Structure 1
Amino acid sequence: MPANPIAGVILITGSGPQDRNQLFMGHQTFLVLADYLTRKNIAVLRYDDRGVGQSQGQFDGATSYDFADDASSAIDFLNAQPELHNRLVGIIGHSEGGLIAPIVATQNSKVDFITLLAGPSRSGRFVSENQIKKILLSNGMSKDTSTKGSQITKSLNKSVIQYADLSKDDLKQKLKTVYQTKWQQLDDTSQTQLQRLGGGSLPEPRLKMLVGDWYKAFLTHQPVDYLTKLNIPTLALYGDKDVQVSAEDHAKVMEHALTENGVNLSKVVILPNHNHMFQRSKTGAMTEYQHIEETLSLLTLSSIADWISDLK
């Protein structure tokens, strides 16, 4: 921790079991972010997700609301540090972490500000269906095939919600049937294109995710229910080449939601030529992440640090 920090933050990772550095495709995003912020005199608390690294608990079966409870405990811990007495304490959340941060902020009065990196402003159901379409497009699929691929996901999501009371085994069988029915309705061209990315069947790891508690909660979560209740400064950053949580679909909704809280320091910023990981990117495709040397752009880092510094 810096000797005399101007503020403190906790970092909340994106979806999936993550360590405190948010190691993904060879990049340690949160290690780089924490190092930069510490050099800017901002204290940072990183922690392994529950059940990961040195953290106890069980990751499987937990939902975003459970992770919000974990983050709230981290806020309490950071706020109790004597070095941060009379200092602002906030949250930086990436992707799902940007979904979790507003939940925590509306439930824990010790949160003074939040920064959302590719934080969704629309339902998880919209995110998953739109994400598939944009990912397929970024991988060279035709617009027609990408739309049809998204429609398969839409049908699967509808079944997850409609048959939520089924046992997981029965729901898996239902989803397999839905998938095969939709797959058989595709034309040969679309089938051939989708097979290049593993289309044609539902692999067990995806089935496990679809029937899990986390996914059910994610599909029905409405971020605006929390965003409109925020009464603290909020910075939302998006990359204009993000294919996972696209600026095109989320930035305006986010901006509209934040204007309802009347906090002048809240703002939404779209960073040009940045992907979901906030690297400078050519296409935004997920396949680029590991091949880009940069972990986080300097523009991203400075945008966060400068905004927090201006809050004090």
Structure 2
Amino acid sequence: MREQSVEIRAAGALLAGALSRPDGDGRHPSALLINGSGPIDRDSAMPGMALGLGRELAVALADHDCVTLRYDKRGVGTSQGDYLSTGFHDECRDAAAALAALRAHPAVDPERVFVVGHSTGAVVAANLVRAVAPPAGYVLLAGAAQPGDQVMAWQSDRIAATLPRLLRPLGPVLVRRQARERDRIRRSTTDRHDRMPRSRLTDRWLREYLAHDPGPDLAVIDRPVLAITGGKDVQVDPADVSRIGRLVTGPFDGEVPPDLTHLLRRDPGQPGLWRYRAQLRGPMDGWVTERIAAWARIRLAS
């Protein structure tokens, strides 16, 4: 595998990324990786969390003759711009710029460019159906099919229900507090708030995400789609895999692996946000990248 640094010309900023390509000449099928929420870099890492999807996906796809482009978000890593001034819609536009840059690369077959999105990155990926030249396929990992406010309400309920037994009485308090916070965000008019969460999600980003409904985007996707959400995901409803399948009109493959979590790790224990630290000590499940590679080989065959 060969890797080179690339620059992506987005609105008002140059985004930095890495293009990984298999050995050999010619044009190849290609994937654009879009990470989830927060100040995440090209390797799917942010302070306090190293998901590892970026590098592992690039290696796995290179073994299957695919090019991969992954990039640092605006204001993250070596990308220009200000992360804290970036909204959800800005991230959608940045992803469209990255898609255009990937398609224009001489090692890429422009007719076989697909997108891989994780978490809110999957929502951004679905929005690329609105791009001037949409992707040839979509891989939605832990992707939602419902509006952002419904996703976050479900998330609050699920996290509360999966707290350790001793903390479970605090669940209703958590749910009410999160509901009040969502109400505050909807009413807000500023970009950020003094009590910004550890995730570094600003009021502007959250306000735009809460109001965004991916359903209309999914409904006009007529290209192949692979949707994977773990049965132990506590941030996105696994039932959204079926919802995605009912919305899209292209060839659809859906998977809900029983022990897979939102962090793309297998965990035989009880689901819960409190188990994330232990999950991150282990590797990402190799089945995920192999499933993506196998899907791309079949669905994007020349």
- Common fold by TM > 0.5: yes
Cα distance between partner residues in 2 of 1:130 and 1:147: 13
Cα distance between partner residues in 2 of 1:254 and 1:110: 18
- Is residue 272 from structure 1 mapped to residue 258 from structure 2 by the alignment? yes
Give the match's secondary structure for 2:76: coil
Which residue of 1 is the match for residue 174 of structure 2? 149
What is the aligned-residue RMSD (CA, Å)? 2.4
Which residue of 2 is the match for residue 284 of structure 1? 271
Q: Which has the higher strand share?
A: 2
- Is residue 9 from structure 1 mapped to residue 34 from structure 2 by the alignment? no
Amino acid at match of 2:295: W
Task: Choose from 45, 66, 78 the match for 1:42.
Answer: 66
Q: Which has the larger radius of gyration?
A: 1
Cα distance between partner residues in 2 of 1:94 and 1:104: 14
Task: Choose from 95, 103, 128 the match for 2:152.
Answer: 128
Amino acid at match of 1:268: G
Cα distance between partner residues in 2 of 1:208 and 1:306: 33
Pairing 1:45-60 to 2, within 5 Å after superposition: 45-60=69-84
Give the match's secondary structure for 1:255: helix
Which residue of 2 is the match for residue 306 of structure 1? 294
Cα distance between partner residues in 1 of 2:209 and 2:36: 13
Pairing 1:240-259 to 2, within 5 Å after superposition: 240-248=231-239, 250-258=240-248
Pairing 1:226-237 to 2, within 5 Å after superposition: 226-237=217-228
TM-score by length of 2: 0.82
Q: 1:19 to 1:207 in 2, by over 3 A?
A: closer
CA offset digits 1:123-142 (Å, max 9, x no partner): 11112122122222222257
Give the match's secondary structure for 1:60: helix
Give the match's secondary structure for 2:197: helix
Q: Is the 8 A contact 1:243 1:276 kept in 2?
A: yes
Q: Is the 8 A contact 2:52 2:284 kept in 1?
A: no
Pairing 1:185-264 to 2, within 5 Å after superposition: 204-206=195-197, 212-248=203-239, 250-258=240-248, 261=249, 263=250
Gaps of 5+ in 1: 173-202
**How much does 1:236 deviate?**
0.9
Gaps of 5+ in 2: 1-20
Q: Which has the higher helix share?
A: 1
TM-score by length of 1: 0.80
- Is residue 104 from structure 1 mapped to residue 123 from structure 2 by the alignment? no
Identity of aligned residues (%): 25
Residue correspondences, number: 273
Q: 1:291 to 1:79 in 2, by over 3 A?
A: same
Which residue of 2 is the match for residue 189 of structure 1? none
Cα distance between partner residues in 2 of 1:113 and 1:266: 10
Moved over 4 A (4+): 141-145, 207-211
Instruction: Pick which of 28-37 and 130-139 moved more.
Output: 130-139
Instruction: Pick which of 129-138 and 207-216 moved more.
Output: 207-216
Give the match's secondary structure for 1:204: coil
Q: 1:286 to 1:208 in 2, by over 3 A?
A: closer
